[in-house]
Amino acid sequence: MQLAVFSAKPYDKKFLTSIRLTELDEASDIEIVYHEFALSLETVSLAKGASAICVFVNDDLGAEVLESLHANGVRAILLRCAGYNNVDLQAAQRLSLFVANVPSYSPEAVAEFAVAQIQTLNRNTHRAYNRVREGNFNLQGLLGRTLHGKAVGIIGTGRIGVAFARIMNGFGCRLLAFDLYQNDDFKKYGTYTDLDTLLSESDIVSLHCPLTDTTRHIINDETLSKMKMGAMLVNTSRGGLIKTKAVIAALKSKHLGGLALDVYDGEGPLFYNDHSGHIIDDDELMRLTTFHNVLVCGHQAFFTEEALSEIADGTIRNLADFLHGRKCENGLVQDHGKEGLSLVRKDSVPIRI
Ligand code: NAD
């Protein structure tokens, strides 16, 4: 069987290949084909010949692409990431496609990156780095705030939100959280509150909920106006959680004191590729990069050796489950044999179909 990997980078090849050799070769005859480009309506025909495909966060798995995949003989979709907002699960179910993700690879990797962004933005180490290289040791403009004792609001206390809470608790921060479901693991570090209270009391707000119909633009003009004057907003979850125009207005009015983004609403055509020789046609992103108190990274919070190894391992285990017709613990849509196809809810996030 053939597995077609889309949006494949050298590091994907390295980690997927090393797992494949140790875990799967003996049992199955699998050929892996790597495509550097993303999966889209334009590229979907390249999946022909593959029974399974492996995709990442910005690959398009909308209904039309899924239909085309199915027509080309693809039967399994392996997400090498946790988020699955880019997959039309309802269409996948209708087409009897197996879909699985890797929900729990190193949540600490993402949480630690959120903290790295907070520390960078708060203490201006990115600016200090550039200044010192130019022989400028002036501290003017580098003033930060001590994190100890500050209130940190966490929206979404799943695996990553709790890992983040654990670290911020170590800094001596007061932790508040908002979630649709309460997690006892979070209660060791802080208290649950409603969203408005979290927004009005937090010095730092960090987003760790998935992108769903209800969380899209959860940060908008109204919610930003409820935030504490000068507070910092951090998003390492999904770009669509934030309405970009609204944060630009809040930064201009100085109501928002700082913004750290690892993800961006319009990241699809840009992130993971070098556009340094091109004109970037996204005025909102370009406006964001002009603020001294905005830090934008290119969706790299997951990017540690440990996480890549766990992602590759989980992806190949999902593939093995599909090939052997086993129930897959990471299955989002999977065939249950006689029971027919069903959606599996594998975490506390309801999957609406
Ligand atoms: P998780 O499923 O363990 O936790 C998500 C939490 O969000 C759950 O507790 C859920 O109840 C809560 N939630 C759902 N809807 C909500 C709502 N409307 N309001 C408040 N809370 C809500 O997921 P996780 O592993 O912690 O990952 C969180 C997100 O992080 C993923 O969905 C993904 O988008 C993102 N992520 C980003 C990167 C990166 O590299 N930047 C890497 C991995 C994951």
* CB hemisphere CA count around 308 (13 angstroms): 15
Residue 279: its pLDDT value, please?
96
Site to probe by mutation for ligand 1, drawn from 209, 211, 212, 296 as the one with most ligand atoms within 8 Å of Cβ, is 209
User: In the chain, how many domains are there?
Assistant: 2
Q: Give the residue whose CA is nearest to atom 9 of ligand 1.
A: 158
Q: Give the residue whose CA is nearest to atom 27 of ligand 1.
A: 160
Residue 22: its pLDDT value, please?
57
Residue 108: its pLDDT value, please?
97
Site to probe by mutation for ligand 1, drawn from 84, 237, 261, 332 as the one with most ligand atoms within 8 Å of Cβ, is 237
Per DSSP bridges, beta strands 2-5 and 31-34 are: parallel
Q: By residue range, what is the domain housing residue 17? A: 2-105+305-352
Q: Which of 262, 277, 296 is the last residue of a domain?
A: 296
Residue 352: its pLDDT value, please?
31
With 0.85 as the threshold, say if the pTM is over it.
Answer: yes
114 and 66 within one domain: no
329 and 272 within one domain: no
122 and 173 within one domain: yes
CA dihedral 332, 306, 152, 188 (to 10 degrees): 80
Q: Give the residue whose CA is nearest to atom 37 of ligand 1.
A: 237
263 and 142 within one domain: yes
252 and 120 within one domain: yes
Residues with C-beta less than 6 Å from any ligand 1 atom? 82-83, 107, 110, 155-161, 178-181, 208-212, 214-215, 236-238, 262-263, 299, 301-302, 347-349
114 and 91 within one domain: no
Q: What is the CATH number of the domain that holds 237?
A: 3.40.50.720
274 and 180 within one domain: yes
123 and 95 within one domain: no
291 and 171 within one domain: yes
**How many other β-carbons are positioned within 10 Å of the β-carbon of residue 136?**
12
Q: Which numbered atom of ligand 1 lies nearest the CA of 236?
A: 41
Q: Are 171 and 112 in contact (CB under 8 A)?
A: no
Q: Which numbered atom of ligand 1 lies nearest the CA of 303?
A: 40
155 and 65 within one domain: no
Per DSSP bridges, beta strands 331-335 and 98-100 are: antiparallel
Classify the phi-psi angles of 230: left when phi > 0, otherwise alpha if psi is within -120 to 50, otherwise beta.
left
Q: Which of 260, 276, 296 is the last residue of a domain?
A: 296
Q: What is the pLDDT along the chain (353 residues), one digit of tens a residue?
A: 899 999 999 999 999 988 765 556 555 678 999 999 999 999 999 999 999 999 999 999 999 999 999 999 999 999 999 999 999 999 999 999 999 999 988 999 999 999 999 999 999 999 999 999 999 999 999 999 999 999 999 999 999 999 999 999 999 999 999 999 999 999 999 999 999 999 999 999 999 999 999 999 999 999 999 999 999 999 999 999 999 999 999 999 999 999 999 999 999 999 999 999 999 999 999 999 999 999 999 999 999 999 999 999 999 999 999 998 999 999 999 864 434 444 544 443 433 32
263 and 118 within one domain: yes
165 and 48 within one domain: no
